[in-house]
C-alpha cells in the first residue's frame, strides 16, 4: 500500500465564512488555499422538511492541499472556526492525493 504524502481538504461553507476558516487553517499549518464560488443545488424546502435545517444557496468552497500529517489539525481548526458543530453551516472532507505537479515543495520538504 502506497503512503499518501498529500491530502486535498475541501470545505463547503455558506458564503461569507471562508475568511475565518482560512485564518484558522493557516494557524494550524496550512500555507494557502483556493476559494471557489459555488451555489447549492438542493431545494431548500425539501432540506428543511427532511433535515429540519435551512439551506443558504450561495456557497464558497475552500480547497487546501496539505501534507497528510497536517490534515487532521487543519480540518479540526476549520470546523471549529466555521461553526460546523451546528447543522446547516457547512461540510468538510478530505481526499488522498496520489500525485502533485506545478507546486514548489512544502517548507519541510526542502533539501
Q: Is residue 50 part of a domain?
A: yes
Q: Is residue 111 part of a domain?
A: no
Read off the CATH number of the domain in which 19 is found: 3.30.70.120
Mean pLDDT of 32-58: 69
Say yes or no to pLDDT of 99 above 70: yes
Residue 92's pLDDT is 94
> How many residues are recorded in the chain?
111
- Total domains, the chain: 1
Could you tell me the three cell numbers for 111?
Answer: 533539501
Residue 102's pLDDT is 80
Could you tell me which residue, 109 or 88, shows the higher pLDDT? 88
Find the domain containing 72 and state its range. Answer: 6-98
Mean pLDDT of 11-25: 94
Say yes or no to pLDDT of 111 above 50: no
Is the distance from CB of 50 to CB of 68 less than 8 angstroms?
Answer: no
Amino acid at each position: 500500500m502506497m503512503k499518501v504524502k498529500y491530502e486535498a481538504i475541501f470545505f463547503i461553507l455558506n458564503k461569507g465564512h471562508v475568511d475565518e476558516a482560512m485564518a484558522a487553517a493557516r494557524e494550524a499549518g496550512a500555507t494557502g488555499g483556493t476559494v471557489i464560488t459555488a451555489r447549492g443545488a438542493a431545494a431548500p424546502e425539501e432540506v428543511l422538511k427532511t433535515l429540519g435545517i435551512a439551506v443558504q444557496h450561495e456557497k464558497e468552497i475552500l480547497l487546501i492541499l496539505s501534507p497528510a500529517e497536517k490534515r487532521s489539525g487543519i480540518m479540526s481548526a476549520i470546523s471549529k472556526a466555521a461553526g460546523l458543530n451546528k447543522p446547516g453551516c457547512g461540510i468538510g472532507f478530505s481526499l488522498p492525493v496520489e500525485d502533485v505537479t506545478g507546486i514548489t515543495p512544502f517548507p519541510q520538504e526542502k533539501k
